[in-house]
Each structure stands twice: as C-alpha cells, then as structure tokens.
C-alpha cells in the first residue's frame, strides 16, 4: 500500500500527540531520575510518528523521499535514549563514561550522516533503495549495522529493567514491572513483523509499538508516580526489623517503608509515592514538619488512645557525585523509655512524701507565671504556709503522725484550689501556694478557708487523734515592672512572720508597693 492513506496518517498523528503530551508532563519533572532520557525518548517517538504521518498524508516535500528520510532522526534516537533511561532507572549512570558514552552518542550521528550522504558512497542503501516504499527491508552494511546496534541497545535496556525489577521492592518494583510490560510490546511487534503478520499492510508499525509503550509509561507516571520516586531503595528492606524504616527521595516523597514503620505511623502501602506530608496528613502539623525537615535527629509524638513516642534518625543518601538522592529515616519506639524519663522527671520535681511540687520546680513555674502576669497585666497571688507546733506533733505522737499531718494539709490544699494553682513543699513544715489570675483579696479568702478546714479536721495516726493549725502569709504581684519573685516571697514571708507573731493559726496579707507617680 502506498500513500496517501488518511487512516494511517491520522493514527500516527494521534500517536505523536500522545508522545508530546507525555513529554510535556515529564518536562515539568525534569529534576527527577530518568526524566531527561525519557523526555528525549518521547520527543524522538513524536518526531518519528508525526513525520511518518506527513509521509502517509502525501504532503509534497523538497524531494519524493524527504518526509520518509527525516523520520530517521527519530529512528536512530529512540534506542540510545531508551538504553540511557534504563541505566538511570537502574542507578547505573556511572556506566555512561568512555568508551560506552562515545559509542551510544556518536553511532547515531555517524549513521545519520551516512544515511543522508548515501548517494555519494552507497554505504547505507547499497543501491537497493526503492521509491515510494514506506519502510526499508533490505539495504547496505550501515543499515544492517544500525539494526543490530539498535536491537542490542533495546535488549540491554530490557535486561537492565529485569535486573532492576529483581533487585527492587515496594512501589518501585511495581513501577519497573510496568516498564518491563511496556518494553515487551516492541519485542512482540518485531516478532510479528518478522513472521510477516503485519496488521498495517505496507506500513512500518514499529513507531506504533513504541508509542503504546510510551502510553504505558504515561500510565505509570500518572498512576504509580513513575520518576517521582528516586530508586534509592532497590534492595529489599528487612520487613521484620524491630525499628521502622522509611525511605524518602530528594523531593520528600515516600520510596519505601517497612511493616514496622507502617504500624508505628499508621499508614498503608497506598501512600507510597506520595509526599511524606500527604502520607502523614492524619498526624499533627508538628509531626509532618519534623519529617519534612532536614534534621538528622528528631523525636515524634503520636497522640491517640495511647501516646506513642518515636525517635527518628535521618541519614542522607547520596550518589557517587555527592548529589542528594533522598533520606533514610529509622524510627525507634521509645515510648517505654519516655515513660521512665517522665517518671524520673516527676520524681525530680516532686516531694517524695507528699507528692507536692518541690521548691526548685515551684520556683521555675512561679517565675514563668510572674512573667506572664506582668506581660498581660493579670493578677497573681502567692501564699506561704507554716504548720504551727509541728515539732510538738512529732514529739508527742511520733514522726508518722507528723507525716499524716503534712499529707492532710496537702490533700486539703489540693482539693480546695484549682487545677492551675500550684501547691509546693518548701521543706519541713513549710509550704507555698501559687495562684494565677487571683487577686490579693481573693487569695486571702481562699487561704482563710483552707486554714479553717485544716483546723477543724481530725487527723488519725494509729491510736492517736489530733488537730493541727497553720499560719499563712499572702501577697500579690505588684504593679511595678521591677517586682520580682524574690520580692514576692520576701513579702509573703513577712506576712507569715506577722501571723506567727500575732498568735499563729491565722492569715496575714502584705500588699505590694504601689507604682510611684
């Protein structure tokens, strides 16, 4: 069959358009592995399809064979581009050095030169060219050399795809599997063509077979994020590791993840290939930011029915040229360790007998609250307490009874105040109460209620029953900007001294100095 053939021409134009469409998508992702080679491959296929379509449309050219001849620009470019793409996908770009690089890039140029200058030497067609024939079945030595060279590159590319498939895992294995399927199409087409079973009589159906392969690439690109995922996890991850393993590419997309990491992060395999931020969208922003950062060490807190704490160690993955390929993140569950640390921290900040906050921790909290009260001009009250005649209780009823008296005071003060108030034991029978958002008068009323409650409470220790009383000094945060926690404690201590001096078992207040005018 000879041109014109509008059906063939339209089909080829559609095929070329598909290649250009896929190439346009890849053009926006040129920074990822293999994109440049695949872009070259698809551009060459588009050129092959479109110029061949113009030939079948019988559009006049400078000479009868013009449109058919220039299709050869795509014919000689497709195999090398495919081979380079396979090297990049297999992370073997270091192979592209002399003499292999010279062979791959120089041979197509020499073949093209000999093709277009054939009338002067006959090395390509050897005088066997026929006019108005849509494909070459027989020609000279350069033609057959190019056929052997092209099929050798395609064969090696296929072998590399299979090798990459066998050495990969997870989503990357699925992607390479689809690439191998796509590569089988040109091979099947070649077998059909050699057997003389041509579905397109009179035409070369090779560009169609490669275009179908390109459509498969497009499907993998859009459905499985081909090229979005850098092949940094080609070897199978150890699924039974106690630690979670997460591999991200240079664009922070998930390459691979083992079962432990899936369990710890509560993610499914459907998230593979997606940005880490999207995969972790069910977690808090703080957690997502941690995984997106370039920090080498960070901790993650996962809230749920049971809070889980993870320690993450991130290691950059680089190629031989020190280019960043991605990151390997190892996740270690430190929930038990965190629990022990919290217990130790609690013990370090609490009084061992009463469980009240100790003096050191109270001072830290009080300084923080005082700063906040002064910044926002809020009330802040402080109460110092001292149990009356505590030594007499110990001497009369024993130290166990004294401990019961201290525990009772802690219970009364804790139950009689808000959760934001902080009750502390300063030492011995001395205690303090910090009351944010509380005025001096309100604090005095609360202090009086606590004092009265303790006075009326009968304390039991063994066979002994007794009552104790307490003296209190109350002060507030002054309006002066230079008021300090030490100054407040000094005022509260003076007020407490007055309560003791006036007969004990009472509440005394001492106001801060007014702001000078």
Query: If you average pLDDT over residues 397-410, what whole number do you get?
Result: 94
pTM flag (> 0.75): no
Is pLDDT at 340 greater than 50 in this prediction? yes
Residue 443: inside a domain, yes or no?
yes
Give yes or no: 476 in active site: no
Read off the pLDDT of residues 113-132 as tens digits, 9 standing for 90 and up: 999 999 999 999 888 877 66
| Per-residue confidence (pLDDT) for residue 485, from 0 to 100 | 92
pLDDT interval class at 235 (50, 70, 90): very low
**Are 363 and 302 in the same domain?**
no
Indicate whether 116 and 188 sit together in one domain: yes
Say yes or no to pLDDT of 376 above 80.
yes
Considering the domain architecture, whether residues 47 and 92 belong to the same structural domain is answered as yes
Tokens linked to 170: 């997870």
CA distances from 239 to 50, 257, 259 (A): 48, 9, 6
Boundary residue ending a domain (287, 305, 339): 339
Contact (CB, 8 A) for 47 and 19 = no
For residue 44, is it within any domain? Answer: yes
Among 172-176, 314-318, 356-360, whose mean pLDDT is lowest?
A: 172-176
Closest CA to 50 of 42, 304, 294: 42
Mean pLDDT in the chain?
Answer: 83
Let me know whether 272 and 374 are in one domain.
no
pLDDT of residue 186: 80
Q: pLDDT value at position 397?
A: 93
* Shared domain check, 279 and 166: no
Reply yes or no on whether the pLDDT at 490 is more than 70.
yes
User: Which residues contact residue 98 at a Cβ distance below 8 angstroms, ignoring those fewer than 6 apart?
Assistant: none
Domain that holds residue 153: 6-223
Q: Is the pLDDT of residue 358 over 60?
A: yes
CATH number at residue 303: 3.30.450.20
Tell which residue, 371, 367, 469, has the closest CA to residue 422: 367
Confidence of residue 236 (pLDDT cuts 50, 70, 90): very low
Query: Average pLDDT for residues 195-202, to the nearest whole number?
Result: 64
In a shared domain, residues 329 and 366:
no
Kindly report, residue by residue over 253-305, the tens digit of the pLDDT.
887 778 788 888 888 766 677 788 888 887 778 777 878 787 888 888 887 77
CA–CA separation, 466 vs 371, rounded Å?
41
What are the residues facing 150 on neighbouring strands?
A: none
Mean pLDDT along residues 485-510:
95
Strands, DSSP E only, in 58-205?
none
388 and 440 housed in the same domain: yes
Residue 496 lies in a domain: yes
- CA distances from residue 24 to 19, 116, 209, 271 in whole angstroms, order as listed: 9, 30, 20, 25
What span, in angstroms and rounded, lies between the C-alpha atoms of 84 and 153?
9
Domain end marker among 293, 309, 339: 339
The catalytic position among 429, 430, 437, 476 is 429
Number of structural domains found in the chain: 3
């Amino acid at each position: 069959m000879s041109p014109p053939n509008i059906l063939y021409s339209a089909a080829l134009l559609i095929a070329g358009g598909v290649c250009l469409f896929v190439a346009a998508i890849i053009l926006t992702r040129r920074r990822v592995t293999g994109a440049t080679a695949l872009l070259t491959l698809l551009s060459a296929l588009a050129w092959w399809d479109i110029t061949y379509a113009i030939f079948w449309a019988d559009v006049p050219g400078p000479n009868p064979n013009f449109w058919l001849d220039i299709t050869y620009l795509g014919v000689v470019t497709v195999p090398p581009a495919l081979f380079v793409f396979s090297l990049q996908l297999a992370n073997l770009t270091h192979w592209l050095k002399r003499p292999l690089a010279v062979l791959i890039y120089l041979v197509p140029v020499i073949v093209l030169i000999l093709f277009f200058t054939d009338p002067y030497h006959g090395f390509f067609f050897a005088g066997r060219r026929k006019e108005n024939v849509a494909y070459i079945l027989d020609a000279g030595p350069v033609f057959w050399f190019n056929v052997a060279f092209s099929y050798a590159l395609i064969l090696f590319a296929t072998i590399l795809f299979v090798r990459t498939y066998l050495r990969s895992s997870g989503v990357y294995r699925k992607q390479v599997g689809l690439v191998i399927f796509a590569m089988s199409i040109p091979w099947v087409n070649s077998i059909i063509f050699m057997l003389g079973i041509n579905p397109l009589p009179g035409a070369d159906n090779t560009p169609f077979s490669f275009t179908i392969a390109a459509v498969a690439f497009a499907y993998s690109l859009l459905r499985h994020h081909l090229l979005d995922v850098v092949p940094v996890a080609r070897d199978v991850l150890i699924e039974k590791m106690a630690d979670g393993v997460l591999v991200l590419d240079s664009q922070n997309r998930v390459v691979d993840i083992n079962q432990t990491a899936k369990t710890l992060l509560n993610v499914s395999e459907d998230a593979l290939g997606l940005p880490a931020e999207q995969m972790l969208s069910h977690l808090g922003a703080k957690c997502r930011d941690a995984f997106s950062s370039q920090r080498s060490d960070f901790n993650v807190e996962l809230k749920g029915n049971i809070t889980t704490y993870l320690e993450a160690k991130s290691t950059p993955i680089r190629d031989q040229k020190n280019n960043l390929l991605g990151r390997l993140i190892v996740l270690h569950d430190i929930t038990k360790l965190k629990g022990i640390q919290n217990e130790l921290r609690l013990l370090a900040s609490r009084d061992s007998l009463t469980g009240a906050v100790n003096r050191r921790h109270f001072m830290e909290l009080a300084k923080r609250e005082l700063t906040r009260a002064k910044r926002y001009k809020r009330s802040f009250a402080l109460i110092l307490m001292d149990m009356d005649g505590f030594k007499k209780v110990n001497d009369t009823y024993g130290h166990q009874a004294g401990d019961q008296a201290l525990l009772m005071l802690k219970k009364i003060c804790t139950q009689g105040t808000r959760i934001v108030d902080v009750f502390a034991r300063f030492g011995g029978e001395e205690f303090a109460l910090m009351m944010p958002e509380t005025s001096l008068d309100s604090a005095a009323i609360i202090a009086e209620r606590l004092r009265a409650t303790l006075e009326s409470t009968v304390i039991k220790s063994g066979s002994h029953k007794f009552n104790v009383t307490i003296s209190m000094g109350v002060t507030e945060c002054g309006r002066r900007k230079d008021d300090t926690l030490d100054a407040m404690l000094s005022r509260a201590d003076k007020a407490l001294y007055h309560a003791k001096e006036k007969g004990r078992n009472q509440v005394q207040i001492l106001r801060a100095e007014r702001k000078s005018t």
